[in-house]
Amino acid sequence: MKDKKKAFERAVHGVFLILGLTSVCCVLLITVYLIISGIPAIHEIGLIEFLFGTTWASTAAEPAYGILPFILTSVYGTAGAIVIGVPIGFMAAVYLAKVAPPKVKTVMESAVSLLAGIPSVVYGLVGMLVLVPGIRKMFHVPDGASLLAAIIVLAVMILPSIIKVSVTALEAVPKEYEDASLALGATPVETCFRVSVPAAKSGIAAAVVLGVGRAIGEAMAVMMVSGNAANMPSLFQSVRFLTTAVASEMSYAAGLQREALFSIALVLFLFIMLINATLNFFLKRSKEG
């Protein structure tokens, strides 16, 4: 009887072990598939030519598969979104955490949650109809679908995550720090920025990492406002990101072109892993330091 029970318990343990390993299996699956699909094209096109070639002409009579325009566009786009989104989000977070009266805070936080939950295509929709004509009229460019439009949309999309994480980090700062600062004669605002913010540094850095991850991986909203021509990035030019490059040609690509798209996905994947690993490394170091 006892053996039966033990065997049963063992079996249950085994089942749960397998379930526990599902996430690891999934990561392995994704990595393996991307590598298997992505390597052949890189091998055939040549790593340097692929990563640093400046022309992408996948269906021309003499195809060229350089993805430098996409890489640079993704980098500039993400950087632009961070440069606009982080300061605004951060300031708003400080307001919410330290200054806002409770009622205002509740209302604003639910507004931010709503912003976070809206599907990205809705942002793309509004961007398509408001931002693109707006940029065309305001800056007197022939066409508003551009890197700038994508940057603005991305900045708006990463605001909620930045605000949420920053607010949590700021609220976690021990009250004693602030009390001590006030006792020493600092005003509330000074305390806020000179004491609480540095104390919440790692949380805010985590918010930035989250923002970077979201911005570099966004495809749908960006596809609707950025014009989709494979140019080297320039603020008012129609551009293509790593993500939109995959999305726009995927459905009809064949042969080497299709494999090149998988390689782009592989590059994107590695990029994101690299960024996450680097930023987390710096976070850990500053935590210990």
Minimum distance from residue 175 beta carbon to other proteins (Å): 20
Which residues within the stretch 25-44 sit at the binding site for other proteins (CB under 8 A)?
26-27, 29-30, 33-34, 37
Residues 6 or more apart in contact with residue 241 via CB below 8 angstroms: 70, 73, 74, 77, 150, 219, 222, 226
Residue 178 binds other proteins, judged by CB under 8 A: no
Which residues within the stretch 94-153 sit at the binding site for other proteins (CB under 8 A)?
94-96, 99-100, 108, 110-115, 117-122, 124-126, 128-130, 132-133, 136, 142-143, 145
Q: In 3-state terms, what secondary structure has residue 56?
A: strand
Residue 2: exposed, middle, or buried by beta-carbon count in 10 A (0-12, 13-18, 19+)?
Answer: exposed
Residue 196 binds other proteins, judged by CB under 8 A: no
Closer by beta carbon to other proteins, 48 or else 117: 117
Q: Is 255 left (phi over 0), alpha (psi -120 to 50) or beta?
A: left
Q: Tokens 């890189």 map to which residue? A: 42
CB neighbours (10 Å) of residue 246? Answer: 21
- x/- contact string, 208-247, with other proteins (CB under 8 A)? -----x--xxxxx--xx--xxx--------x----x--xx
Residue 168 binds other proteins, judged by CB under 8 A: no
Closer by beta carbon to other proteins, 133 or else 174: 133
User: What's the rounded Cα separation, in Å, for the pair 72 and 25?
Assistant: 32
Residue 184 binds other proteins, judged by CB under 8 A: no
